[in-house]
Amino acid sequence: MEKWADYLISHIERDSNGNILRVLIHIDKGDTVSKGYVKTENEVIDLLKKGYKIETIIWDYPKWQRGANVHYVSVNSTEYLRTNRNETDKDNLDNLIPLY
């Protein structure tokens, strides 16, 4: 199977305002997906800035389904993870499962 990205995000944790705090991220190994580990939103943004490709994945038994390309935007000097290009000051990644 072809790799979709360098990293794949499957779950998110939000604060009470709906902002992403942490994600469950996996290494895309092509034929398999690594065990997930927790990264902060800022750590994921740093990976994107270093040029890594990141996408979302959604569990659809019996396998993962490809989601959307992840990027970040800067709005009023605050950076947010996004899967679409609008400039709202909100994280989205809305279709992912809550981390906790």
Determine phi and psi for 27, rounding to 5 degrees.
-85, 130
Whose CA is closest to 35, among 3, 8, 60? Answer: 8
Q: Is 100 part of any domain? A: no
The pTM score is 0.87
Q: Is 80 part of any domain? A: yes
Q: Is 99 part of any domain? A: no
For 86, the domain range is 7-93
Q: Structural domain tally of the chain?
A: 1
Residue 72 has pLDDT above 70, yes or no: yes
Q: Confidence band (pLDDT; 50, 70, 90) for 91?
A: low
pLDDT at residue number 97? 74
pLDDT at residue number 84? 72
Q: Confidence band (pLDDT; 50, 70, 90) for 86?
A: low
